[in-house]
Structure 1
C-alpha cells in the first residue's frame, strides 16, 4: 500500500505562492533540487490540481533544459517517469505523457489507488491537497520551509482542518531552507 504524501515548498509564513501567484521565491538551489529528486524517485503517482499541473508540465519539454545543471535535467526524467492524475473540471486535455484527467476528486477512488499502489503517491496543489486532508487521506507532509515571508497568498495547509502531526525527520540546507517531514496522526 502506498502512502499519500503532501510535498511542498512553503514560505516561512505558510504560503505556497505569494499574493500575485508567484513561486519565484521558492526556486531551489542544486542541493535542495537534489533532495527533491531523491524524494520524487519514490513516488509512483502524482495527484495534481489543475494549476499545479499547469506549473509542473514544463518538465515534459526539453527545449529549456539543455543549459540547466544535471540535477535539474535529472528531475525532468524522474517527473516524466511518474504517473500523473489531474483533478480538473475545466481542463480540456492533458499535454504530458502518463497523465489522465479526473473531473472530480473522489476520496474513495484515491483510497483504492493508495491500496493498489506499490509506491508512494504525492499530492500537489493547495486546493486538491486540502480535499485530501479533509478526507483523512494524507499520510505524511514533506515541507521545505523557505527563508522568506511573502505576506499573503495561497495557504500551504488547509484552513479549518486541524492536524495532529508527528515530526519524523528534519534537515537544514546550506541556503537556509529547512526540511520537515511529519506523519499525520489524526487521519
Structure 2
C-alpha cells in the first residue's frame, strides 16, 4: 500500500493562507526551500484540489526560467513538471504538465491509488486534504509552522468526525523560527 502524505507551510494559528488567499507570510528560507525540494523528489504522485493546482500551474511550469531562479528553484520546477499529478475538480475541464483530471469521487480515486503499487503520494489543497483526513487516508503529516499569526484564512486542518492519534517522528528548526513537526498516523 502506498503512503499518503499531507504537508504544507502554515501559520502558528493554523492557516495555509491568510484572508484573500494571501501567502506573503510564507516566504521560505533557502534551507527550508531545499528541504521541501528534497521531500518532493521522494514523491511519485502529487494530488491537488483545483485552487492549489491553479496556483502551482501558474508558476512552476516555467519557474526554472524566471529571472534570478536559484538552483533549488530550477530543480523544483523540473521535478514538478516531471512528477505525475492528479487534479480533482468538477469545475475545470483541462489540465496539462503531466497531469490527469478526475471529476468524480475523489475519495474513491485516492483509495484506489493508495491500494496500488508505487511510491509515496502527496495530497495538497485544504479541501481535498480535508476529505482525505475525514476518510482516514492520510498516513503522514508534514507541518511546517511559521511564526506568524494571520487571524483567519484557509485552515490546514478541517473538521473531523473523530480523533486521529499521531506519533511524532521528527522535529526540526529552520531559519526565522520556522519549525517542522512530522507525524505518522497511528493505525
TM bucket by the smaller chain? over 0.9
What is the distance in 2 between the residues matched to 1:84 and 1:22? 24
8 Å contact 2:88–2:106 — kept in the other structure?
A: no
Q: Which runs of 5+ in 2 are unaligned?
A: none
Q: Which runs of 5+ in 1 are unaligned?
A: none
Q: CA RMSD for the aligned pairs?
A: 1.5
In structure 2, the partner of 1:178 is 179
Cα 1:184/1:26, change in 2 over 3 Å: same
What is the distance in 2 between the residues matched to 1:90 and 1:106? 14
2:64 corresponds to 1:36: no
**Cα shift at 1:62:** 4.8
**Cα shift at 1:63:** 7.2
In structure 1, the partner of 2:54 is 54
Across the two proteins, how many residue pairs are aligned to each other?
A: 185
8 Å contact 2:34–2:72 — kept in the other structure?
A: yes
TM-score w.r.t. length of structure 2: 0.93
2:135 corresponds to 1:141: no
Cα 1:171/1:63, change in 2 over 3 Å: closer
Structure with a larger share of its residues in helix: 2
Give the secondary structure class of the aligned counterpart of 1:28: coil
TM-score w.r.t. length of structure 1: 0.93
2:84 corresponds to 1:88: no
1:67-113 CA-to-partner distances (Å, cap 9, x unmatched) read 2111111111111121111111001211x321011113332321221
Question: Following superposition of structure 1 onto structure 2, how do residues 27-176 of structure 1 map, counting pairs within 5 Å?
Answer: 27-57=27-57, 58-62=59-63, 64-94=65-95, 96-161=96-161, 162-176=163-177
What is the distance in 2 between the residues matched to 1:68 and 1:51? 24
What is the distance in 2 between the residues matched to 1:79 and 1:117? 21
8 Å contact 1:126–1:157 — kept in the other structure?
A: yes
What is the distance in 1 between the residues matched to 2:102 and 2:94? 11
Cα 1:19/1:123, change in 2 over 3 Å: same
